[in-house]
Amino acid sequence: MVLAHFPAMLFFSFLVSVVFGVLGKNTLRERIVYGAWVFVAFVGVALALGWMMYPVP
């Protein structure tokens, strides 16, 4: 299986977020909110770091 970097990062973030959401909170609503927040944080930080490193040779 060949995945480009971005889809691989998205899948990774999604699966980790699901597990973090299930393990980290106790109610369904809390789990969904926390899982979504972790996913957005993963993707956002990865994109921000990518842009910050863009000028670095």
Partner 1 sequence: MANKVAQETISDRAQPKLATLIWLCVAAWMVPGLGHMLLGKKWRALILFSAIVIMFLMGIAMQGELFSTGTDSYLQTLGFFGEMCVGLAMPVARFFGYAGGNPLFVSADYGTAYLVAAGMLNALTVLDTYDIAMGRKP
Binding residues vs partner 1 (CB under 8 A): 1-3, 5, 8, 11-12, 15-16, 18-19, 22-23, 26
Least distance from partner 1 to the Cβ atom of residue 42, Å = 11
Q: Pick between residue 18 and residue 43 the one whose CB is nearest to partner 1.
A: 18
User: Per 3-state DSSP, what percentage of the chain is helix, strand, and coil (rounded to 5)?
Assistant: 80, 0, 20
How many C-beta atoms surround the C-beta of residue 48 within 10 A? Answer: 10
Least distance from partner 1 to the Cβ atom of residue 53, Å = 16
